Amino acid sequence: MAEVDWKMEAVMQYLKSPAYTYPVMNFIDDNCAVFDQEEESKHEFNAIHQKFVELVFGLLEAFLQEIGVSSEEFAAACDTAVKAGGDRAFVFQQIMAVDDFPTF
Protein backbone atom coordinates (compact mmCIF):
# COMPACT_ATOMS: atom_id res chain seq x y z
CA MET A 1 0.00 0.00 0.00
CA ALA A 2 2.90 2.39 0.69
CA GLU A 3 4.02 1.88 -2.92
CA VAL A 4 0.61 3.08 -4.12
CA ASP A 5 0.51 5.94 -1.63
CA TRP A 6 3.69 7.65 -2.80
CA LYS A 7 2.68 7.39 -6.46
CA MET A 8 -0.77 8.82 -5.86
CA GLU A 9 0.59 11.47 -3.50
CA ALA A 10 3.15 12.52 -6.12
CA VAL A 11 0.43 12.85 -8.77
CA MET A 12 -1.84 14.73 -6.34
CA GLN A 13 0.94 17.24 -5.71
CA TYR A 14 1.75 17.49 -9.42
CA LEU A 15 -1.89 18.28 -10.29
CA LYS A 16 -1.65 21.26 -7.91
CA SER A 17 1.74 22.44 -9.17
CA PRO A 18 2.43 25.26 -11.66
CA ALA A 19 4.03 22.70 -14.00
CA TYR A 20 0.52 21.29 -14.51
CA THR A 21 -1.82 24.18 -13.75
CA TYR A 22 -0.13 26.80 -15.96
CA PRO A 23 -0.38 24.87 -19.24
CA VAL A 24 -3.94 23.78 -18.42
CA MET A 25 -5.09 27.28 -17.48
CA ASN A 26 -3.37 28.76 -20.54
CA PHE A 27 -5.19 26.26 -22.74
CA ILE A 28 -8.50 27.18 -21.12
CA ASP A 29 -7.81 30.91 -21.52
CA ASP A 30 -6.80 30.44 -25.15
CA ASN A 31 -9.92 28.45 -26.04
CA CYS A 32 -12.73 29.71 -23.81
CA ALA A 33 -13.93 32.29 -26.35
CA VAL A 34 -15.02 29.51 -28.70
CA PHE A 35 -17.52 28.32 -26.08
CA ASP A 36 -18.97 31.81 -25.64
CA GLN A 37 -20.26 31.93 -29.19
CA GLU A 38 -24.03 31.86 -29.61
CA GLU A 39 -23.87 29.42 -32.48
CA GLU A 40 -22.82 26.00 -31.29
CA SER A 41 -20.18 24.18 -33.31
CA LYS A 42 -20.02 20.65 -31.94
CA HIS A 43 -17.22 19.68 -34.32
CA GLU A 44 -15.06 22.57 -33.11
CA PHE A 45 -15.93 21.81 -29.47
CA ASN A 46 -14.94 18.17 -29.93
CA ALA A 47 -11.67 19.16 -31.61
CA ILE A 48 -10.78 21.50 -28.73
CA HIS A 49 -11.73 18.86 -26.19
CA GLN A 50 -9.49 16.32 -27.93
CA LYS A 51 -6.58 18.77 -27.80
CA PHE A 52 -7.28 19.31 -24.10
CA VAL A 53 -7.27 15.56 -23.44
CA GLU A 54 -3.96 15.24 -25.31
CA LEU A 55 -2.48 18.11 -23.29
CA VAL A 56 -3.53 16.73 -19.90
CA PHE A 57 -2.56 13.14 -20.61
CA GLY A 58 0.71 14.31 -22.19
CA LEU A 59 1.58 16.33 -19.09
CA LEU A 60 0.70 13.40 -16.84
CA GLU A 61 2.68 10.92 -18.94
CA ALA A 62 5.74 13.19 -18.90
CA PHE A 63 5.48 13.55 -15.12
CA LEU A 64 5.15 9.80 -14.62
CA GLN A 65 8.26 9.25 -16.75
CA GLU A 66 10.09 11.89 -14.73
CA ILE A 67 9.38 10.04 -11.46
CA GLY A 68 10.06 6.62 -12.98
CA VAL A 69 6.51 5.26 -12.94
CA SER A 70 5.14 3.44 -15.97
CA SER A 71 1.59 3.91 -17.21
CA GLU A 72 0.84 0.34 -16.14
CA GLU A 73 2.15 0.94 -12.62
CA PHE A 74 0.10 4.11 -12.34
CA ALA A 75 -3.03 2.34 -13.62
CA ALA A 76 -2.53 -0.35 -10.96
CA ALA A 77 -2.04 2.34 -8.30
CA CYS A 78 -5.26 4.02 -9.46
CA ASP A 79 -7.14 0.73 -9.27
CA THR A 80 -5.94 0.18 -5.71
CA ALA A 81 -6.75 3.79 -4.76
CA VAL A 82 -10.29 3.59 -6.17
CA LYS A 83 -10.95 0.43 -4.18
CA ALA A 84 -9.62 2.09 -1.03
CA GLY A 85 -11.54 5.35 -1.62
CA GLY A 86 -10.68 8.71 -0.11
CA ASP A 87 -8.34 11.38 -1.49
CA ARG A 88 -6.37 8.93 -3.58
CA ALA A 89 -9.51 7.86 -5.45
CA PHE A 90 -10.20 11.52 -6.19
CA VAL A 91 -6.96 11.72 -8.21
CA PHE A 92 -8.18 8.96 -10.50
CA GLN A 93 -11.65 10.50 -10.80
CA GLN A 94 -10.18 13.91 -11.63
CA ILE A 95 -7.95 12.46 -14.34
CA MET A 96 -10.75 10.40 -15.87
CA ALA A 97 -13.10 13.41 -15.90
CA VAL A 98 -10.76 15.05 -18.44
CA ASP A 99 -11.82 12.48 -21.04
CA ASP A 100 -15.54 13.09 -20.42
CA PHE A 101 -16.77 15.70 -22.93
CA PRO A 102 -19.88 16.85 -20.95
CA THR A 103 -17.68 17.45 -17.88
CA PHE A 104 -15.26 19.40 -20.06
pLDDT in tens, the chain (104 residues): 565 578 888 998 999 999 999 999 999 999 988 877 666 667 888 899 999 999 999 999 999 999 999 989 998 888 888 888 777 777 778 888 888 777 77
Alpha-carbon span 93 to 63, nearest angstrom: 18
HSE-CB of 4 using CA atoms within 13 angstroms? 17
For the chain, first and last CA: distance in Å? 32
CA distances from 46 to 5, 30, 69 (A): 34, 15, 30
Residue type, 17: S
pTM above 0.75, yes or no: yes
